[in-house]
Amino acid sequence: MQASTVTNTNQDSWGGGGAKPLDAGYGKLMMWFFIVSDALTFSGFLVAYGFSRFKNIDSWPIADEVFHHFPFLHGVDAPMYYVALMTFILIFSSVTMVLAVDAGHNNNKNRVAFYMLLTIIGGAIFVGSQAWEWKNFIKGDYGAIEIQNGEILQFYDLKKQKRISIDEFYISSNQERITHDDNVGIWYQSEAKLPEITLNEVMTGFNNDMNLTVRLEKLDETGHKIVLSRDEAEIKLSSATRVVKGANLIRNEYGNPLFADFFFFITGFHGFHVFSGVILNIIIFINVLLGTYEKRGHYDMVEKVGLYWHFVDLVWVFVFTFFYLV
């Protein structure tokens, strides 16, 4: 095992492991120290999320309203089921990883390879699911209006007593405004991509249907978004500046920009960990198939990468709680 360290001493070292400190190999110890530091990085991110949330406690977006998609169930309101499924997939791939480590302790090459393959598949499904989640988040579904002071106003149908998408009520102006590119203007300036629905079209649609009103970012005492009366909504909307559809790092239709920023950053950083975990697993898988560890006489590398993989699972358990549940 200790290919490069001297182990011929008979002295007991510290930490209670005979000749080996803490009774753990060098690589395993280093993996543990990396995990501890990475755990602190992630807790830094999650605590920063908590900070921003406590700072905007009366106007934070409601996760159930944001993440309510499920594959093949279009238009069905299914909050959290999909993330719960993702959590289960990741925990399950963690289990196949432990089984691979266990098979490694018994020097059973075929079983290690089989369980490693299952782990890789689980990880790939998870990364794919996260990409789908991002797609829905970026695309958005209801659309909203941003007003002068930066507030996001979402539309609400008083008759049906539920939210309404801007796609459902805007009135097309039948005008086409072509995106201004730098090759046609005098000052060689271009503009950002135009929204598919303009502010004017939304406002015409709004003025046309008296049942429509807006919802504020602010929450009432019961934790629901405050719905304004029609008159109040008209005053608010008089300072409308743009249509917001979906999410990016600058603004999003769900409310506070920080919400989307933390979503992209935390789940993105975690997704990157899963991705690199899958790559490491593939490398180990190939090595197992080639018989590298069988020749070496032990499967410690599987155990080390396994520790990393479980850590990724562990982080997801916390992200799941603090982003989707709490």
Nearer to other proteins, 91 or 138 (CB): 91
> Is position 213 an interface residue for other proteins (rule: CB under 8 A)?
no
Nearer to other proteins, 264 or 308 (CB): 308
Around Cβ 307, how many Cβ atoms within 10 Å? 17
Burial of 202 (0-12, 13-18, 19+ CB in 10 A): buried
Of the candidates 96, 168, 22, 48, the residue with the CA atom closest to the CA atom of residue 313? 96
Amino acid identity of 40?
L
229, two tokens: 């009366």
> Is position 52 an interface residue for other proteins (rule: CB under 8 A)?
yes
Contact positions with other proteins (CB under 8 A) in 233-292: 235-236, 238-239
> Is position 127 an interface residue for other proteins (rule: CB under 8 A)?
no
Q: How far apart are CA 273 and CA 220, in angstroms?
A: 38
- Which range, of 2-10, 183-191, 232-240, 246-254, touches other proteins by CB under 8 A? 232-240
Q: How far apart are CA 221 and CA 217, in angstroms?
A: 13
- Which range, of 144-152, 165-173, 189-197, 204-212, touches other proteins by CB under 8 A? 144-152
> Is position 7 an interface residue for other proteins (rule: CB under 8 A)?
no
Nearer to other proteins, 29 or 199 (CB): 29
Alpha-carbon dihedral sign for residues 310, 312, 318, 319: negative
CB of 55 to other proteins, least distance (A): 4
CB of 189 to other proteins, least distance (A): 29
Amino acid identity of 280?
L
Using the 8-state DSSP alphabet, how is residue 247 labeled?
Answer: B
Q: How far apart are CA 29 and CA 120, in angstroms?
A: 24
- Which range, of 98-106, 129-137, 154-162, 177-185, touches other proteins by CB under 8 A? 98-106
Q: How far apart are CA 207 and CA 155, in angstroms?
A: 12
Contact positions with other proteins (CB under 8 A) in 60-79: 64, 79
Q: How far apart are CA 147 and CA 79, in angstroms?
A: 28
Q: Which of 8, 54, 161, 189 binds other proteins (CB under 8 A)?
A: 54
Q: Which of 19, 62, 80, 117 binds other proteins (CB under 8 A)?
A: 80
Q: How far apart are CA 292 and CA 101, in angstroms?
A: 15
Task: Give the distance from CA 106 to its chain's centroid.
Answer: 37
Q: How far apart are CA 105 and CA 293, in angstroms?
A: 11
Nearer to other proteins, 86 or 197 (CB): 86
Q: Which of 26, 34, 81, 114 binds other proteins (CB under 8 A)?
A: 81
- Which range, of 2-10, 53-61, 123-131, 249-257, touches other proteins by CB under 8 A? 53-61
Nearer to other proteins, 180 or 218 (CB): 218
> Is position 23 an interface residue for other proteins (rule: CB under 8 A)?
yes
Radius of gyration of the chain from its Cα atoms, rounded to whole angstroms: 26
Around Cβ 76, how many Cβ atoms within 10 Å? 10
Nearer to other proteins, 101 or 247 (CB): 101
Burial of 184 (0-12, 13-18, 19+ CB in 10 A): exposed
Residues near other proteins (CB under 8 A): 14-17, 22-24, 29, 32, 35-36, 39-40, 43-44, 47-48, 50-58, 64, 79-81, 84, 87-88, 91-92, 94-95, 97-99, 101-102, 105-107, 147-149, 151, 223, 235-236, 238-239, 298-300, 306-307, 310-311, 313-314, 317-318, 320-321, 324-326
